[in-house]
A and B are shown apart, each in its own frame.
Chain A
Amino acid sequence: DTAVSQTPKYLVTQMGNDKSIKCEQNLGHDTMYWYKQDSKKFLKIMFSYNNKELIINETVPNRFSPKSPDKAHLNLHINSLELGDSAVYFCASSQGTGQDQPQHFGDGTRLSIL
């Protein structure tokens, strides 16, 4: 059973479009995250979210917005896609408030902007 699953695995789309990436975890975790991995493999936190608080990395453009329908899901919606948004996006989850708790990652969504 996949612990953290993301869909789609690959996403190819035109500049200017709006797209969403879905993430689900079946671990019963309380905190979920989105990370971006660029072409140089650098991993950077974008958001963390539990049912009490959303923390946004200040460098993330407001075209990116996380949406959580319930505790097991944290989807990523991106408006007006730009060439620089091409990257691999990883969802992760951890127990409790997340402090000093192991994070489990999905296998990523590779987003390519044409």
Chain B
Amino acid sequence: GENVEQHPSTLSVQEGDSAVIKCTYSDSASNYFPWYKQELGKGPQLIIDIRSNVGEKKDQRIAVTLNKTAKHFSLHITETQPEDSAVYFCAASQWGSQGNLIFGKGTKLSVKP
């Protein structure tokens, strides 16, 4: 089955700097890769996603890149702000399921003012 590894587990940056979180997946048949932001006491919130027919996607300060050959995908946040502080999860959609998501273990991002 699918396995998703996520690094780093914690990341601390200064406000205005960029943050990068990296994930790898094991099943080459996976074709959908969302990123979620989870704030304390809340459910995961979808912030951006990418499908396997696309190499890069951008939405304002957030971008995601996908390398299908290497089975890597990454989240890039530019011009970080204190409100970006949260736990971020990458995920891969399990092939052959009803879109069951296999999550990475999360990255706790702290943005210091």
Contact = CB atoms under 8 A, between A and B. Distances in A.
A43 B41 contact: no
Interface residues of A, number: 31
* Most A-side CB within 10 Å, residue of B44, B45, B51, B99: B99
Interface in A4-49: 4, 31, 33, 35, 40-45, 48-49
A41 B46 contact: no
A85 interface: no
A105 B43 contact: yes
B59 to A, nearest CB: 13
A21 to B, nearest CB: 13
B25 interface: no
A44 B103 contact: yes
A35 B103 CA distance: 10
A102 B103 contact: no
Interface string A88-114: 001010100111111111111000000
B101 A103 contact: yes
Nearest to B93: A100
A48 B45 CA distance: 19
A53 interface: yes
A33 B100 contact: yes
Contacts of A45: 94, 100-102
Interface of A: 4, 31, 33, 35, 40-45, 48-50, 53, 55, 57, 90, 92, 94, 97-108
Interface of B: 31-32, 34, 36, 38, 41-46, 49, 51, 87, 89, 93-94, 97-103, 105-106
Given A55-B100, A92-B43, 11 more contacts: A48-B98, A48-B100, A57-B100, A97-B99, A100-B31, A100-B32, A103-B101, A105-B44, A107-B41, A107-B43, A108-B43
